Structures are given as C-alpha cells and as structure tokens.
Amino acid sequence: MKRIERNDYLEKLIAFRDKKLIKVITGIRRCGKSTLMDIFRDWLLKNGVVPGQIFYLNFEDYDNRELRDPIALYRYIKPLILPDKPTYIFFDEIQHVKDFPDIINSLNSLNLKPYVDLYITGSNAYMLSSEIATLLSGRYVEIDMLPLSFKEYVTGSGKQDNLAKAYTDYITQSSFPYTLTLERAGDIADYLNGVYNTIVVKDIMSRKKIQDVMMLESVIRFIADNIGNIMSTKRIADIMTADGRKIDQKTVEKYLTSLCETFFVYEAKRYNVKGRQLLKTLSKYYLVDVGLRRMLLGSRSFDARRLLENVVYLELLHRQKKVYVGKINDLEVDFVAMDENDIVYYQVAATVRDEATLKRELKPLQEIDDQYPKCILTLDEDPEADYNGIKRMNALKWLMGECGV
C-alpha cells in the first residue's frame, strides 16, 4: 500500500518539535496514528536527526511484551536518553504498559532530562480526551486525527482526473486509509464492521460498563440516520420510545458522550450569530466516516445533501476550525467556522439550480450583518457565482482547496 502523506498533521508535529510538551496523538481507531509517527520519524531523519536519536516502541508488538512492565521499560529507555542532544521517543499503543502515565510523566519531568521529546498514541479506551489531563501531570498537546480528507483520499487513490467519481467512491466506500487497499465492496464492509465492533465492544461497552448492546446500537443507528438534524437528548429518547425502543434521556446522554469520546460521533453545538455566544440547547451530530453510515443503514442511507453536509463538517475540522451550527433570528446557518483570526459562514446543498432552493439557502446568509465571508457549497458543476457578496462554489473544488475559504 502506498503511504499517504498526512501533511497537515505532520506540520503540527513539526511545529511542536523540541517543545517541552508531551505530544498525544488521538483519534478514532485505524485513522492513521501509527502511520503519522512513521511519517514524522522519516521527516526527522531527513532534517538532521540521526537514527541514534530516535527510539520507537509499539507495545502491541509481542517482541516488546517484556517492556510492558513499567520498571523494565524505564530501565530500558533511561540509558538511551542522550545527554547532549534531543532524544525522540515514540510510544505506540502505550495503554499496554501498566501504569503508563507514571512512565510518561517521569520521562517528561524537567528534573530528569531536558532533551526528551515524547510522542504517544493509545487506544481510545485509555486515551479519551476527557481523561488525558488527569493522566498526564505534565504539559501536553493533543493532536486529534481524522481519517482521510477528500483531498487525501483523491491523492491516495490516484483519482485526480475524475473528482465526481472519486467523491462517489469516498461517500459510498470509506475514508479509513486501509480501505484504499480493498477493491470489493464486501471487503470494505467487513473491515468497517470490524472497526465498528471494536469501538462498540472495547471502547464503549467495556469502558463504560454498558450492558444493553442492542439499545446502544439503536442509538448509534438513530444518530447515523439523523446526521444534520437539530436534536436534543430528550427528543432522541422520546422518538425512540415512541418507536418501541424505550430509553430515557440520561441513557441517551451517556451513550452520546461515549460515542463522542471515542471519536465515532462529533457534536456541533448551536451558535447565536447576532449575540456571538454558544447556545446550551440542541445540537447536530455527524459521523467520523460516512462509509460507516452506509454500513449501518444500507442503501437507504444515500441522501446527497446530508452526506455532503457531513463531509463538509469533517473538512472544516481538518482545517482546524471550531465548527458550530448558526442561529440567525429564526433561521439556521449550516456551519459557522471559526479560528483565532476569522469566521466563515457556510450553507450546504446538493443543488441550487432550482430558484426556490437557491433563495432558501441564501436567506440565512443574507440576514447576517457583518463582513465575514459567506458561501454556499453545492455539487452543481457550474461556474462560481456571487450574490451581493455571498459566493456560490463547487463543493468538490472547495474540498480540494482549489477555491473558496
């Protein structure tokens, strides 16, 4: 399999190189965390670091089983730390080491060696975002990885000459890197089913001590079927109960929290555009991979607008934006994307060739009285257009970084 260079994530690691921070790479299982470590080690070797400065251990490798003992690991690694130049230490699947936070904190301690540059990954069952701060007493930075963006998928699959076909494959197959090596739809479905079952059984049920797997899977399918819909946990519980799957609001909240912590689902909270503040009620939810939605729901899952909205949301996360659902008066803006410098408003539609649809998509953006960029993303293969400062552009070109903001 040709390695896909994850340049955006590589640049983040480069930016934090030699900083006294533990680099914690998180993300859903099989999104490419170990490969990113490989990519960064190769970059180091090409940029003046010699092999003797780099130490990599994968604790899922049976050859390293004796080093799962914390004392043995500490005794092994401490003599390897160089006294006069940086030592780059990579621990992959660190959760296999008993009491691993003690080892990480010791190696990162300022009192030990100032030249240790430490990078770790671990199973989401043990490296949940909400628990990292508790586990690691030292300063750390979390690098949250996603599966392949559309641009990475196109590059990795060699489908640059036919973006429309590449997009169809992207939303009907998967964005998980390994699936690019699989040609048959059945093999991709089997692979995704394996990823899904591992997350549900190991990362959620075992970790959260959930007994009712059928109800958990019912919630997962409900979320998958309702991506892009404004929801509350009470509404989810009420609808599921009315459909004969009795569940209370607290259980829904527990399941949704677990799904978000394992990066299976992402929550987009609402944002009051006029008041410039987050709203406490109602959210939208999106899946980390639309291929998982197809696996869960089958062919009935195809909804061009919902799928595009999910893909655009993930792309904005790839671009390091904070993403919210906008509320302007009684209207909704699909996405309000923010960083420290800018805000951009997005509407997403499969097509706006129908005049009524175009007016509907323009209306919330026209209500916003500020100078930040506003745009409509659509699958229409038409020239870009401008409606009094609101730009309409092709979503696939935008996903490839060829236009827009």
Q: State yes or no: pLDDT of 114 exceeds 60.
A: no
Q: Which pLDDT score is estimated for 320?
A: 92
Q: State yes or no: pLDDT of 43 exceeds 70.
A: yes
Among 145, 172, 200, identify where a domain stops.
Answer: 145
Q: State yes or no: pLDDT of 99 exceeds 90.
A: no
Q: What percent of the chain clears pLDDT 90, i.e. is strictly above it?
A: 78
Q: State yes or no: pLDDT of 277 exceeds 70.
A: yes
Q: State yes or no: pLDDT of 112 exceeds 60.
A: no
Give the structural domain span for 40: 7-145
Mean pLDDT of 220-240: 96
**Band (188; pLDDT cuts 50, 70, 90):** very high
pLDDT for 334-351, tens place per residue?
999 999 989 999 999 999
Q: State yes or no: pLDDT of 377 exceeds 80.
A: yes
**Residue 183 domain-assigned?**
yes
Between vectors from CA 220 to CA 324 and to CA 320, what angle results, nearest 5°?
30
88/18 Cα distance (integer angstroms): 9
What residues contact residue 3 under an 8 Å CB cut-off, 6+ apart? 35, 38, 39
Q: What pTM does this model have?
A: 0.94
Assess whether 246 and 129 both reside in one domain: no
Q: Which pLDDT score is estimated for 103?
A: 85
Q: CA-CA distances (angstroms) from residue 298 to 186, 259, 264, 336?
A: 12, 20, 18, 31
Number of domains in the chain: 2
DSSP-derived secondary structure letter, 231: B
Question: Using CA atoms in the order 134, 135, 141, 147, what is the torsion angle rounded to 10 degrees?
Answer: -110
Q: State yes or no: pLDDT of 152 exceeds 50.
A: yes
**Residue 13 domain-assigned?**
yes
Phi, psi of 3 (to 5 degrees): -70, 135
Cα–chain center distance at 302: 21
**Residue 189 domain-assigned?**
yes
Among 145, 176, 199, identify where a domain stops.
Answer: 145
pLDDT for 59-77, tens place per residue?
989 999 999 999 999 999 9
Q: Which pLDDT score is estimated for 110?
A: 44
239/100 Cα distance (integer angstroms): 43
Assess whether 178 and 54 both reside in one domain: no
Phi, psi of 274 (to 5 degrees): -70, -45
Mean pLDDT of 260-275: 95
Helix, strand, or coil (residue 115): coil
Assess whether 188 and 215 both reside in one domain: yes
Q: Is 183 exposed, middle or buried (0-12, 13-18, 19+ CB in 10 A)?
A: exposed
Assess whether 79 and 190 both reside in one domain: no
Mean pLDDT of 73-98: 91
H or E stretch at 55:
strand 54-58
Residue type, 358: L
Assess whether 88 and 173 both reside in one domain: no
**Residue 2 domain-assigned?**
no
**Band (111; pLDDT cuts 50, 70, 90):** very low
Mean pLDDT of 284-296: 96
Q: State yes or no: pLDDT of 175 exceeds 70.
A: yes
266/285 Cα distance (integer angstroms): 6
Q: State yes or no: pLDDT of 302 exceeds 90.
A: no
**Residue 133 domain-assigned?**
yes
Among 126, 145, 164, identify where a domain stops.
Answer: 145
Mean pLDDT of 185-197: 95
* Residue 44, token pair as written in the block: 């180091």
Q: Which pLDDT score is estimated for 129?
A: 57
Q: State yes or no: pLDDT of 92 exceeds 70.
A: yes
290/306 Cα distance (integer angstroms): 10
Assess whether 67 and 195 both reside in one domain: no
332/352 Cα distance (integer angstroms): 17
Mean pLDDT of 32-50: 97
Beta bridge partners of 229: none
Mean pLDDT of 8-19: 96
Q: Which pLDDT score is estimated for 139?
A: 83
Assess whether 154 and 140 both reside in one domain: no
**Residue 116 domain-assigned?**
yes
Assess whether 137 and 154 both reside in one domain: no
Q: Report the mean per-residue pLDDT for the chain.
A: 92
Assess whether 296 and 256 both reside in one domain: yes
385/42 Cα distance (integer angstroms): 43
Mean pLDDT of 121-135: 67
Q: Which pLDDT score is estimated for 296?
A: 94
- In the block, tokens 């904005």 appear at 316
The region of weakest confidence among 88-102, 171-185, 265-279, 304-318 is 88-102
66/315 Cα distance (integer angstroms): 41
The region of weakest confidence among 3-17, 50-64, 84-98, 282-296 is 84-98
